[in-house]
């Protein structure tokens, strides 16, 4: 009886450890980062950020209106023009860049007619 209790406890501990050890980039499928974002820390400007996503590719218009291209990698985001890494939260509502800039999601889908200069969809 005691052996069964210990075996059950060990099984529960292993199951809980596997679930809690999952990193953001290890989910199955691609997180949807498309939408309108606001910079809340170390911002380059006061405008909104827009992200359009096609698969693993990101088309970004930053808070200054500059277009950029990025990619979602298994555990991070890579922005080519700024040559900067960023991570996104498990809920995909926050993006934090390695230099300290933070974006939060305002609208999960792009606003119709908002446009993404320099990008054709």
pLDDT at 104 over 80: yes
Is 32 part of any domain? yes
pLDDT band at 115 (very low <50, low <70, confident <90, very high): low
Residues 6+ apart with CB under 8 A from 12: none
d(Cα 38, Cα 10) in Å, to the nearest integer?
A: 45
By C-alpha distance, which of 29, 35, 63 is closest to 49?
63
Looking at residue 95, its pLDDT comes to 96
pLDDT above 70 (res 100): yes
The structural domain count of the chain equals 1
Domain annotation covers residue 70:
yes
Q: Quote the pLDDT of residue 19.
A: 36
Asked if residue 100 belongs to a domain, the reply is: yes
10 falls within a domain: no
Residue 88 falls inside a structural domain: yes
Per residue in 44-99, pLDDT (tens digit) is 999 999 999 999 999 999 999 999 999 998 889 999 988 999 999 988 999 999 99
Determine, yes or no, domain membership for 6: no
Per residue in 3-59, pLDDT (tens digit) is 554 444 544 444 443 333 333 444 567 889 999 999 999 999 999 999 999 999 999
What CATH number should be reported for the domain holding residue 39?
Answer: 2.40.128
In a domain, 84, yes or no: yes
- In terms of residue numbers, what domain contains 90? 28-107
């Amino acid at each position: 009886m005691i052996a069964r209790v210990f075996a059950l406890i060990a099984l529960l501990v292993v199951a809980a450890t596997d679930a809690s050890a999952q990193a953001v980039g290890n989910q199955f499928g691609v997180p949807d980062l498309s939408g309108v974002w606001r910079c809340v820390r170390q911002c380059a400007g006061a405008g909104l950020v827009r992200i359009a996503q096609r698969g693993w590719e990101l088309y970004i218009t930053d808070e200054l209106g500059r277009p950029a291209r990025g990619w979602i990698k298994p555990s991070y985001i890579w922005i080519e023009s700024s040559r900067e890494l960023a991570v996104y939260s498990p809920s995909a509502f926050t993006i934090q860049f390695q230099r300290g800039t933070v974006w939060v999601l305002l609208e999960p889908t792009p606003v119709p007619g908002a446009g993404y200069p320099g990008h054709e969809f």
